[in-house]
Chains A and B, each alone.
Chain A
Amino acid sequence: MTHTIEQYIAECGDHVLHAFSALPRPSKKLEDWKFFTHTEWFESKWNISTVYEVTPDFIHSQLQGIDYDSLVVFHNGEFLMQYSKISDFLKISNQEYKPIFESKSLTQLDIVHTANAKHGVNIRIANSEQLNHIVLLSVVSGSHTLCTASHTIHVEADTQCTITEIIVSEANATESLMLSGTQLICNAGSVCEYTSIQKLHKTSSIVQNIAVMQLQQTTATVHAYPLSGAYNRTNMSAYKQGTQAHTNVYGILFPCTDEHIELYTNIYHNVPECETNEQIKGLGKDNGQGVFSGLIYVAKDAQKTRAAQSNKNILLSPTAKIHSKPQLEIYADDVSCNHGSTTGQINREALWYMQARGIDLHKATELLLEGFINDVLETMSNEQVQAYILSHIDTKIAEI
């Protein structure tokens, strides 16, 4: 049985319907949603509770040689214990999903995302002697599927870990929509590197919300790689609740034919002596559209904040677009903050130099674009994940 979003919401109970009705629908009238028309999502009929099978072979084929210490598998938002590998340092429980931070700009999509709160999965990562790599693999199946997933990950105090979340769609997942949320709570003294990868069917869409809460003396590094999809949006927010909380955000957008890829980041400095380093690169090809909107907010009390934000884009065709919106909002008076944004074309002089050394235009372009994204990609400590991402970006580059 299929539902429109409104029918689904009505079935979730009066309080959900009430919350839904009170909020705006994403539209071009909203500053944060103005670059894409979402109307169709609200008119479509979705498969919400249809059960699909997924094979272990498919799951393992998606990891493409990425090693892990723990693997947590989800299918259309449901946790699949039988395909997961839960090690001793990891504790998983079902728990109602509650946003760790109340966003000021909620839309009806946030209600759709949390309407089925029973999907919430709580993951606790305990301190262990080694640096553990936890992979969250989420598979979307079925045509016109609407699925939601919500994870809250607690990184215990003084724990170091790397987390890679991969969301992929099966070949049958055409015109599907995934609303996903991952909350990361970094307890005092923890160091966490989280990578978010979404690789979807060219007709499917995703909104991925990443919220990071950092207590004192933590380092959270977020790598955002929305690799493919008709509409692929990542909303990433970080809230620093303790001093000396450092946030690094790296990401690459590469919208190609008929793709619309968005990355919105909001970093909130509420306490003193915290740092943010944000570096986003964009490549646009054919009629691909990209959006980078990044806010660094420094509250009045957040003295001694150091923050840097950079967004550099290359457009490879006259019809490609990347909208760049770097923003600093500073209320403290003893801070060091900077931001910069550039958008240009591929460097013709460099191509010529390489051609004059015998390198053909195609290979020269490949080298130049790989070089362009390299400094962002190289910040990732896990080389297998880096290679996974690079192979997908290289496929896009090779088609130029």
Chain B
Amino acid sequence: MLHIQNLHAAIDGKEILKGINLHVKPGEIHAIMGPNGSGKSTLSSVLAGREIFEVTQGEISFMGKNLLDLAPEERACEGIFMAFQYPVEIPGVSMTNFMKAAIEAKHKYQGTEPPSPTEFLKKMKEKRAMVGLPDKLTGRSVNEGFSGGEKKKNDIFQMAMLEPTLAILDETDSGLDIDALRIVADGVNQLKTPNNAYIVITHYQRLLDYIVPDVVHILFDGKIIKTGDKSLALELEEKGYDWITKS
């Protein structure tokens, strides 16, 4: 599904990613862990297509297409979804209008009929219930006046609505209390199918108790320095990053 080969990326001339190789198959959950400043968020931004990052070397193919040729919105319509570490507030744009624009864009891109207003609202209601997003929030502007946890739930709600092929959760666990974490993780687990995949970026092992990864990668200084199964995350939790970066 996703093949990253020797990916190098820089911001303002400073190289952050220094040769990433990563291969994700349908149905897999990959966790990427690493200390602050290792390049975890840069990797998710580069995959989603943020233009402030410059890809200086390497290739990314997604479902057989060269991802680097696609604009961010095209990547989203192709089925890539990034849950933000800090979801952005959009004053004046209601949740409903925002979601409607996103769904319509996806259908337009794929050349399919968008859902009728009734179907759309029904789906909104279903998915909202699934992630436990309070009803009152959908009447508000996107993320405006939402608590930290509500913002994260809102991102998972959007993911449920857009049904991506590849979802990247960029430190979705940061700022979440244990109950909110469980709800978010439940949402992710319910959305998992044999055909989609997840990249879960996190500092801590805690999230991986709820979203169990198939593969765990350790990112350090712009490179994946170790790959293993879920026990790697437990080992890391026990021994700290020093164990791996100094060895």
Residue from A358, A368, A372 within 8 A of B102 (CB atoms): A358
> Beta-carbon contacts of B92-118 to A below 8 Å, as 1s and 0s?
110001100110011001000000000
Residue from B73, B82, B90, B91 within 8 A of A360 (CB atoms): B73
CB distance B92 to A368 under 8 Å? yes
A54 contacts the other chain (CB 8 A): no
Residues in chain A near residue B97, CB distance under 8 A: 367
Q: Quick one: which of A350-365 are within 8 Å of B by CB?
A: 350, 352-361, 363
B123 contacts the other chain (CB 8 A): no
CB distance A367 to B101 under 8 Å? yes
Residue from A349, A354, A358, A370 within 8 A of B77 (CB atoms): A358
A65 contacts the other chain (CB 8 A): no
Residue from A347, A350, A356, A361 within 8 A of B82 (CB atoms): A356
A371 contacts the other chain (CB 8 A): yes
* A358-B76, A359-B73 known; A353 vs B48 contact (CB < 8 Å): no
CB distance A371 to B101 under 8 Å? no
Q: Which residue of B lies closest to A350 (CB)?
A: B90
- A338–chain B nearest beta-carbon distance, Å: 19
A374 contacts the other chain (CB 8 A): yes
CB distance B92 to A354 under 8 Å? no
Residues in chain B near residue A371, CB distance under 8 A: 90-93, 141
Q: Which residue of B lies closest to A375 (CB)?
A: B92
Residue from A349, A350, A359 within 8 A of B101 (CB atoms): A359
CB distance A368 to B73 under 8 Å? no
- B6–chain A nearest beta-carbon distance, Å: 25
CB distance B98 to A357 under 8 Å? yes
CA separation between A354 and B141, bound complex, in Å?
13
Residues in chain B near residue A349, CB distance under 8 A: 88
Residues in chain A near residue B142, CB distance under 8 A: 353
Q: How large is the interface on B (under 10, 10 to 19, 20 to 34, 35 or more residues)?
A: 20 to 34
- B93–chain A nearest beta-carbon distance, Å: 4
B26 contacts the other chain (CB 8 A): no
Residues in chain A near residue B210, CB distance under 8 A: none
CA separation between A234 and B84, bound complex, in Å?
44
Residues in chain A near residue B149, CB distance under 8 A: none
Residues in chain A near residue B102, CB distance under 8 A: 354, 357-359
- B199–chain A nearest beta-carbon distance, Å: 14
* A352-B50, A371-B141 known; A357 vs B76 contact (CB < 8 Å): yes
CA separation between A318 and B72, bound complex, in Å?
25
CB distance B106 to A368 under 8 Å? no
CA separation between A371 and B97, bound complex, in Å?
10
B121 contacts the other chain (CB 8 A): no
B244 contacts the other chain (CB 8 A): no
CB distance A358 to B92 under 8 Å? no
* A353-B84, A363-B105 known; A358 vs B91 contact (CB < 8 Å): no
CB distance B90 to A368 under 8 Å? yes
B87 contacts the other chain (CB 8 A): yes
Residues in chain B near residue A355, CB distance under 8 A: 49, 71-73, 76
- B165–chain A nearest beta-carbon distance, Å: 13
CB distance B106 to A372 under 8 Å? no
Residue from A352, A363, A374 within 8 A of B88 (CB atoms): A352
CA separation between A361 and B142, bound complex, in Å?
17
Interface centre among A353, A356, A359 (most CB of B within 10 A): A356
B162 contacts the other chain (CB 8 A): yes
Interface centre among B49, B72, B84, B141 (most CB of A within 10 A): B72
Q: Quick one: which of B186-235 are within 8 Å of A by CB?
A: none
CA separation between A352 and B142, bound complex, in Å?
14
* A349-B88, A367-B98, A367-B101 known; A356 vs B109 contact (CB < 8 Å): no
Residues in chain B near residue A352, CB distance under 8 A: 50, 72, 88
Q: Which residue of A lies closest to B92 (CB)?
A: A371
B172 contacts the other chain (CB 8 A): no
B42 contacts the other chain (CB 8 A): no
Residues in chain A near residue B105, CB distance under 8 A: 357-360, 363
- B80–chain A nearest beta-carbon distance, Å: 9
- A252–chain B nearest beta-carbon distance, Å: 13
Interface centre among A357, A367, A375 (most CB of B within 10 A): A357
Residues in chain B near residue A374, CB distance under 8 A: 92
Residues in chain B near residue A367, CB distance under 8 A: 90, 93, 97-98, 101
Residues in chain A near residue B50, CB distance under 8 A: 352, 356
Q: Residues of B at under 8 Å CB distance from A? A: 48-50, 71-73, 76-77, 81-82, 84, 87-93, 97-98, 101-102, 105-106, 109, 141-142, 158, 162
A-B contact pairs, 6 of them (CB 8 A): A347-B88, A355-B72, A355-B73, A356-B81, A357-B102, A363-B105
Given A358-B76, A359-B98, 14 new contacts (CB under 8 A) = A353-B84, A353-B90, A355-B71, A356-B73, A356-B76, A358-B73, A358-B105, A359-B73, A360-B71, A360-B73, A363-B101, A368-B93, A371-B92, A372-B91
The 8 closest A-B pairs by CB, nearest first: A371-B92, A358-B76, A353-B88, A371-B93, A355-B72, A357-B102, A358-B105, A350-B90
